[in-house]
Amino acid sequence: MKSKLFSNLALLGIILAAVLALVMGGWSLPVLVVLAATLVGLGARNNNQGLGRAALVGAIGALVVVIGAVIHNTLIVSLPDVDAIPVESTTVVVYAGVIVLGALVAPLVAFFNGHPNDRVRRYSLLGFIAICAVIFPFYEQGTQLLWASAIIVALFYTLQALGLNIVAGYSGMLDLGYVAFFAIGGYTAGLLLSPQLPEVYALRWSFWIVIFIAAALAALFGLLLGAPVIPLRGDYLAIVTLGFGEIVPIVFKNLEAVKIYEPISEMIAYITGNPAIARCLIGCGEKALNITNGTQGVNPIDRPIINLTGIGIPVNYTFQTGEYIPWYFLILIFVAIAAFFIHRLRQSRTGRAFVSQRDNELAANAMGVPLVRTKLTAFMLGAMFSGFAGAFYASYVSFISPDAFDFSISVIVLVMVILGGQASIPGVILGGFVVKLVDLLILDKVQLVFGGLLKATILKNAPDGLALFLSSLFDITQYKLLLFGLALVTMMLVRPQGLIPAGIVKYDTKS
Amino acid sequence: MAETLLAATGVTKRFGGLVAVNNVGFHIEQGMVAGLIGPNGAGKTTFFNMITGVYKPTEGSISFAGENITGMRPDLVQARGISRTFQNIRLFAQLSALENVLVGLHSRLHGTVIEAFMRPPRVIHEERQAVDKSLQILDFVGLGRKVADTAASNLPYGYQRRLEIARALVSDPKLLLLDEPTAGMNPQEKSDLTRLVDQVRHELGVTVLLIEHDMRVVMGISDRVTVLDHGEKIAEGLPNEVQNNPQVIEAYLGQGAAAEGA
Q: Which of A108, A124, A140 is the last residue of a domain?
A: A124
Which residue in the set B78, B132, B145 is minimally distant from A366, CB to CB? B78
CB atoms near residue A87 (< 10 Å): 21
- Identify which of B207, B176, B8 has the alpha carbon closest to the alpha carbon of residue A367: B176
| Residue A1: per-residue pLDDT | 41
Judge whether A414 lies within some domain: yes
Taking a C-beta distance cutoff of 8 angstroms, is the pair A191, A422 a contact?
no
Beta pairing, strands B232-237 & B224-229: antiparallel
Judge whether A196 lies within some domain: yes
Same domain, A111 and A184: no
d(CA A12, CA A17): 8
Which residue in the set B91, B103, B116 is minimally distant from A369, CB to CB? B103
Same domain, A120 and A157: no
pTM over 0.80: yes
CB atoms near residue A480 (< 10 Å): 14
d(CA A238, CA A245): 10
Radius of gyration of chain A (CA): 26
| Residue B213: per-residue pLDDT | 85
Q: What are phi and psi of A448, to 5 degrees?
A: -55, -50
Judge whether A33 lies within some domain: yes
CB atoms near residue A309 (< 10 Å): 9
| Residue B258: per-residue pLDDT | 47
| Residue B1: per-residue pLDDT | 52
| Residue A7: per-residue pLDDT | 64
Taking a C-beta distance cutoff of 8 angstroms, is the pair B59, B36 a contact?
no
Count how many Cα atoms sit within 13 Å of the Cα of residue A203 in the half-sphere of its side chain. 12
Nearest CA in chain B to A511: B132
Q: Which of A419, A435, A451 is the last residue of a domain?
A: A435
d(CA A54, CA B247): 76
Which chain A residues have a beta carbon less than 8 Å from that of B132? Answer: 511
pLDDT > 50? residue B262: no
Q: Determine, for residues B103 and A352 on separate chains, whether the beta-carbon distance falls below 8 Å.
A: yes
- Identify which of B205, B52, B141, B201 has the alpha carbon closest to the alpha carbon of residue A362: B52
Confidence grade of residue A2 (pLDDT, cut at 50, 70, 90): very low
| Residue A159: per-residue pLDDT | 97
d(CA A396, CA B227): 71
Confidence grade of residue B111 (pLDDT, cut at 50, 70, 90): confident
Number of domains in chain A: 2
Tens of pLDDT, residues A386-405: 999 999 999 999 999 999 99
Same domain, A82 and A203: no
Same domain, A89 and A174: no
Confidence grade of residue A32 (pLDDT, cut at 50, 70, 90): confident
pLDDT > 80? residue B254: no
Confidence grade of residue B74 (pLDDT, cut at 50, 70, 90): very high
pLDDT > 80? residue A94: no
Judge whether A175 lies within some domain: yes
Q: How far apart are the first and last CA of chain A?
A: 31
Choice between A143 and A352, residue whose per-residue pLDDT is larger: A352
Name the burial class of residue A199, with classes exposed (0-12), middle (13-18) and buried (19+) by CB atoms within 10 angstroms of its CB. exposed
Report the share of chain A in percent with pLDDT over 90: 38
pLDDT > 80? residue A230: yes
Q: Determine, for residues A360 and B148 on separate chains, whether the beta-carbon distance falls below 8 Å.
A: no
Q: What is the DSSP string of B71-85?
A: T--HHHHHHHTEEE-
Instruction: Identify residue B206 by its one-letter amino acid code.
Output: V
Taking a C-beta distance cutoff of 8 angstroms, is the pair A449, A20 a contact?
no
Same domain, A93 and A178: no
Choice between A352 and A509, residue whose per-residue pLDDT is larger: A352
pLDDT > 60? residue A219: yes
Same domain, A247 and A107: no
Judge whether A271 lies within some domain: no
Q: What is the DSSP string of A315-380?
A: -EEE--TT-HHHHHHHHHHHHHHHHHHHHHHHTSHHHHHHHHHHH-HHHHHHTT--HHHHHHHHHH
Of the candidate ranges A11-25, A138-152, B195-209, the one whose mean pLDDT is the lowest: A11-25
Give the residue-averaged pLDDT of B213-229. Answer: 90
ipTM of model = 0.92
Taking a C-beta distance cutoff of 8 angstroms, is the pair A509, B98 a contact?
yes
Question: What is the separation of C-alpha A262 from the centre of its chain, rounded to a whole number of angstroms?
Answer: 44
Same domain, A167 and A108: no
- Identify which of B72, B48, B70, B46 has the alpha carbon closest to the alpha carbon of residue B59: B70
d(CA A501, CA B163): 24
Q: Determine, for residues A348 and B127 on separate chains, whether the beta-carbon distance falls below 8 Å.
A: yes
Taking a C-beta distance cutoff of 8 angstroms, is the pair A371, A365 a contact?
yes
pLDDT > 60? residue B51: yes
Angle at A23 between CA A459 and CA A80, to 5 degrees: 35
Same domain, A61 and A159: no
Angle at B237 between CA B232 and CA B238, to 5 degrees: 140
Same domain, A396 and A354: yes
Q: Determine, for residues A350 and B75 on separate chains, whether the beta-carbon distance falls below 8 Å.
A: no
Same domain, A23 and A73: yes
Handedness of CA A201, A203, A208, A213 (dihedral sign): negative
Tens of pLDDT, residues A162-188: 999 999 999 999 999 999 999 999 999
Instruction: Identify residue A106 by its one-letter amino acid code.
Output: A
d(CA A193, CA A204): 7
Instruction: Identify residue B167 by its one-letter amino acid code.
Output: R
pLDDT > 90? residue A342: yes
| Residue B82: per-residue pLDDT | 96
When scoring B54, B75, B76 by the number of chain A Cβ atoms within 10 A, the one with the most, hence best to mutate, is B75
- For chain A, the residues whose C-beta falls within 8 A of a C-beta of chain B are 341, 344-345, 347-353, 355-356, 359-360, 362-371, 377, 381, 423, 502, 504-509, 511
Q: Determine, for residues A504 and B96 on separate chains, whether the beta-carbon distance falls below 8 Å.
A: yes
Confidence grade of residue A196 (pLDDT, cut at 50, 70, 90): confident
Q: How many CB pairs under 8 A join A and B?
A: 125
Note down the domain range covering A202.
153-256+291-435
d(CA B210, CA B212): 6
Tens of pLDDT, residues A282-339: 877 777 788 888 888 888 888 998 888 888 888 888 898 988 999 999 999 999 999 9
Residues across chain B:
262
Give the residue-averaged pLDDT of A108-123. Answer: 81
What residues form DSSP beta bridges with A261? A280
Judge whether A68 lies within some domain: yes
Q: Determine, for residues B112 and A350 on separate chains, whether the beta-carbon distance falls below 8 Å.
A: yes
pLDDT > 90? residue B56: yes
| Residue A151: per-residue pLDDT | 94
Judge whether A485 lies within some domain: no
Give the residue-averaged pLDDT of A425-452. Answer: 86
Judge whether A428 lies within some domain: yes
| Residue A393: per-residue pLDDT | 96
Same domain, A114 and A53: yes
d(CA A311, CA A307): 9
Q: What is the DSSP string of B142-153?
A: T--GGGTTSBGG
- What angle do helix axes A48-71 and A91-113 make, rounded to 10 degrees? 150
Name the burial class of residue A54, with classes exposed (0-12), middle (13-18) and buried (19+) by CB atoms within 10 angstroms of its CB. buried
Q: Three-state SS for A491?
A: helix
Q: Which domains does chain B have, with CATH numbers?
A: 1-81+205-254 (3.40.50.300), 85-172 (3.40.50.300)
Same domain, A51 and A172: no
Q: Which of A408, A435, A462 is the last residue of a domain?
A: A435
The pLDDT mean for chain A works out to 85
| Residue A470: per-residue pLDDT | 77
